[in-house]
Structure 1
């Protein structure tokens, strides 16, 4: 690890060091604050959960106490007491009058609360449903209903006038499809003699409990369960569990005290809180997923991480700024040294420091200055030598072309006496003007092509239709610059050494295009070609820096090729030159490679 750190550059070392010094305190502070906030939020969640289940219990108590007050009406209403004391009727009119009294009383009671589904009064002396008084939300009881067969009947008898809460069940024997309700029942006692006069049963819609639970805001994914003292589920957020028995793991919550536990329910860890009502003896159990409780904790953690990352980012930026102030001069000095290694000595580093880096910079500048002076001395000597060689090369353009041209002009003038001599003279004038114009060291490829065409115009009168010339030049390269007189000598060479002695017609193809940063021009003829020995000898002469003149004479392959090749090397360097491909009786291709210069 230490070795790896030591191998890093200075800037990275400084950035890592500063970042570590910033990140470590932030990490410690973030972890401590996270655990403190997590504990606080958990305590607050337990308090909140206890408050909610207690509030649900209070709301349930209030609603059930209202039902109890309704159930006490037969005790305080003398008309109801009078009707229930009767064991028989003298006539139907009396019976009808009593039913009207009971119907009116039940109507007034059922309208007190919209959630009451039905109120039933069973007289002690009744023997059939015809003698049962009831008021419901638009339905009638079955004729075969038997009160004594209800499971709650003995409980009401045993309570002896006290209220009995009945857990969730279906409505009391309606003709239509029954709905889920919970009920309150009790015996009706004679207020004078405390004798049993009958029973009252009140069915309340279970939705009133559902509304109380839903309005409690017990978390987005929280669940509420209400259980009676016998372990029957009165209400559950999951409706499929209503009316079922309480699972064994929840039995501990039926004690007469509030309990908070962490339980795993359906694979999810939850905080379970309970509150027992002293009035109903029902237990409200609330369940909140731990993930929901930790939402605030996770938010605090994410905010802490975000702030930490921002601080770390700012620290890294500051450390990079400081590190660059130290490392940049060293890296700049390193880059300049690399350029000097590549042969660039036209550089000096600005001296901005007076420390050790400044001393290194000063020494480097002195070293570069001395090296440059030495190079300039050698360069000046070599430049004089190269200029002399270049002048010699440019003066060696083959003069026999001039003589041949003049011979053509003379022959045409003497034998044909035609105006074509004007074309030859004009082309010849352009050739001379282009060749001897010393100020035009660099020309465009378009001018080089025009020079070739002037030359071929003259040759056309000598060879007639024997030579066909095809141009395939990419127009995009016509504006590229090159040294002059690199094409015409090669075309001339193709004619005299390839096509002149060939039997039949011959062809010259001149093509040009750009390849990456270079310009490639190919001059191909289908003439006699060269043998392998001739090609190797010529290639060896072209690659030589000292013997090209002698070799060109010995090979007798034309000064033009050697002239052009040497001039290209002198102007553009050894990476640019001619390449020759040839096969006997198939022709020769000369490939010119020069840099793209506009």
Structure 2
């Protein structure tokens, strides 16, 4: 058996040695440091802190119990003042004489109300004072502008308590008070029976309703010091007041903390909702009311924690000095690898211009050199891809631009021919000149970026030629602000739209055609609107047009090919978020909106 135990211990020791040998050099240094320096110092600090915390907890507990007792004594003094206040009518012969008089004349009522009002003003927190005689009359003064709604219910209870007390004051625990003229509030009541002076015969009783604000201020002041919560119970373990105002009038006789508070004063620890509290309590000798103060143990020990931290900081500082030397050596060995790791993260974020600074020719330096070569190769490949994509987009742009419908040129030439044969007029020269300008503007490939002003001049020439053909049927109105005419844009994006309007919008109409072009600037966006008053498009045609502009349908020729080409040219040049948008109403006309970027070529 002993041999088996020795073999087992040997196997464990062998595994530990193997595990330690496989650790990194930095970890080995830290482990040795922990065992030789950190653990002994930590043990000494822990023992010192434990002794201190026990002493501090004891002193704090005694202080909490003493403060609870003093706060409760302050409440006793306040209630004793109310007891004395309730005895004041016994020393006023006129008042007792009026109370014993069954007459209810105006003079009596005024005298009684004045005396009661003065009583009610003595204490700020008294809410109301009621006086009842043996003839069924009630005299009162209230600060809440209304008597209790349950006065008829409370009258027999108060009367019975006054009779049983035989002239001594009676304290009635907190109850909710409602009136017709104010919000509900909580109040406790002091009752005292009143007797005549000669024969000490009971002639009625007086009742003081006192708002719990009289209790609230002193208890909340104590809570601010203890950082805890307080519950005040009457002699029947019903809540008179609690800090959160959630338990008032509730019966807590079955509460574990109430069951533990069996002495005149004391303390104990109790768990509530996963939190440990120090509960200090005290019982009033005057009222037999019981005050329990719940202080989170974490708050009680906070000062201990602060002291512990101050004590440990010196020890930690010493440990850190020695630890820094060990970490410094390990860091010097592993720092280059960390740098390469950080650079790899930068590369993951798309930053390819980073490089590792090779300082030595060791293994880490060789790794860094190959890392740099790899990044350079990746950059070269990406640049090749970018150049290829740019060339592809330029080719697509040129192909799309070359697809602009040239039908208007053929129609114009036919018109020139017919005019020349018929009129032998100077109009032929003008039309030929205008046509030459159009051809030069459209065919010239030297500069594909022009100003909006150039585009508008080109449009005027185009509409002028069309008016030769259609007998001045069309009117072109350009309402673009002067500063936007200086903006740059790609060439031949307006003429196909106007051509589309002339060829399709006015085919089935006979009146004059008005084409309006305006523009608005919206941040980095430029919106140009081309509006016509032609026939408009029905829902089916609009659906087809939306599909063409969205790229879900393609046309090789026919209606819409010009708009499709312009839309694709804009998207290729500016990006996919730009392009054309068409709105049309049958019988009213069509509006085509060109959206360009103020920072992507259409600069002003």
- Taking structure 1 as the reference length, the TM-score comes to 0.48
Larger relative contact order (C-alpha < 8 A, sep ≥ 6)?
1
